[in-house]
Amino acid sequence: MFLEQSFIVTAVILTAAAFLCLYRAVVGPTEADRVVSINIVGTKTVVIIALVSLVFHQEFFLDVALVYALISFITTIGIAKYMEKGALE
C-alpha cells in the first residue's frame, strides 16, 4: 500500500516536472533547448507509464512504455538531422 502511494506521488511530481519542460519547449530561447526539453518530456512520460504499470500490476504498460521510448528516440534523431542539414535525407 505504501509503495503504491509513493509511486503515485512520484508520478505526480514527474508530471509537474514534465509541464515545466513543456513550458521550456514553448519559451526556449533556441531550437536546441526546445528539442532537449521535448526529449525530456518523452523520457518522463516513459517513466510515468512504467510507474502506472507497477501500480496497476499490468505488464502490458511496460510494452507501451518501450514502444513510446523507441518512437521518442527515432523522433529525436530525425529532428537532430533536420536541424543539422536543414532537410531530412
Taking the C-alpha atoms of residue 69 and residue 14, their distance in angstroms, rounded to an integer, is 16
pTM: 0.86
**What's the average model confidence in pLDDT over 10-37?**
93
Query: pLDDT for 45-84, tens place per residue?
Result: 999 999 999 999 999 999 999 999 999 999 999 988 888 8
pLDDT band, very low/low/confident/very high, at 39 (cuts 50, 70, 90): very high
Question: Which runs of consecutive H residues, i.e. helices, occur in the chain?
Answer: 2-27, 31-56, 60-85
Which pLDDT score, from 0 to 100, does residue 89 have? 62
Q: Is 21 exposed, middle or buried (0-12, 13-18, 19+ CB in 10 A)?
A: buried
pLDDT band, very low/low/confident/very high, at 20 (cuts 50, 70, 90): very high
